Every structure is written in structure tokens, then in C-alpha cells.
Amino acid sequence: YVLLNKPKDYITTTDDERNRANVMELVQGACKERIYPVGRLDRDTTGLLLLTNDGDLTKKLTHPSSEIEKTYSVELDKNFAAIDMAAIRNGLELPDGVIIPDEVEYVGDSKINVGITIHSGKNRIIRRMFESLKYKVKKLDRVYYAGLTKKGLPRGKWRFLTDQEITMLKRGTYN
């Protein structure tokens, strides 16, 4: 059970025909066993990524019914208007359905920085939410995933999960 603070420009697939930088390179030598990313983060998205060889836990964490909580720090190309904050809180109609975040707040004094917590695992959902309101996401960083944080874990570095964290994930007591 390896937790990585993924840097930008790394892909999360284990095979890539275009030979791009891959998260597996960052955790090379972490363990003898072959491990796999749990879910995906876009190439441009940074932050928490769990890797494991525990197939049961992977299924549990990636299945929509588990409703895994994820929090992202978002930097936008312009100030996020209060009316758009209200719209996102009330739910947005996207081509694949309505998405309602659990929480969305300004971060700090700047109106371009937003924190958002969701349970959805739909592809590129955070970017698509903001794009639907005519904002461009400049930076997207997953800071919380299923009870895990990146506190003390520098970008591009990894660590093993503690026994307590593994127990929390297996019991499903992370939200």
C-alpha cells in the first residue's frame, strides 16, 4: 500500500504506447510486488494517488457505491463569481448527469482558489464542472482521498500506508 504525491506531467496508466512519464517510475523499487494505481489522475492533475496489489481494496475504492470522498484544491484562470459558487453548490447538469459537490469554498483571500469535495469518480469531473461555467482550471491538486492526506509528503515522493490507514480503508471508515 503506497501513497504517492503525484507531480504534474505523469500519467497513471501502467502501459503507454507513447512512452510518456509514468507514475510507476516514481514508485519503482518501493516493493518487490507489482502494484497498480487505484483509479486515475489526469496527466495535468497533481496530488494523492494510492497504489496497491490488493485487488479487493481497489474494487472497493473505485466502485461508485463506495462513494469515496475526495477533496481538490483548484486554481482558476479568473475570480470565481459568487453566482457560480451558488450554481455549483446547487448542482450542475453535465452531459452524463447532475453533479452536486459535498462542499465548495474559497480558499484563502483569493477568489481564484477554490476547494471542492466530491464523491463522484466520473472522468475529469472537476475540470468539466468549472468548464461548464466558463472557467479554465489552471491547477488541480487532490489533497484528500478516502481519509488519506498528503501532509508531510512532498510532490513526487511516496510512503507506505500505516497499519492504521490500511485498517481504515479496509473497514470503510474513511468518510
> Catalytic amino acids?
42
* Residue pair 16/25 in contact by the 8 Å Cβ criterion: no
Task: Tell me which residue of 27, 42, 29, 48 sits closest to 153, measured CA to CA.
Answer: 48
Grid cell in block for residue 139? 491547477
- CA end-to-end span of the chain, whole Å? 19
* Residue pair 76/133 in contact by the 8 Å Cβ criterion: no
Q: What is the DSSP string of 132-168?
A: HTT--EEEEEEEEETTEE-TT--TT-EEEPPHHHHHH
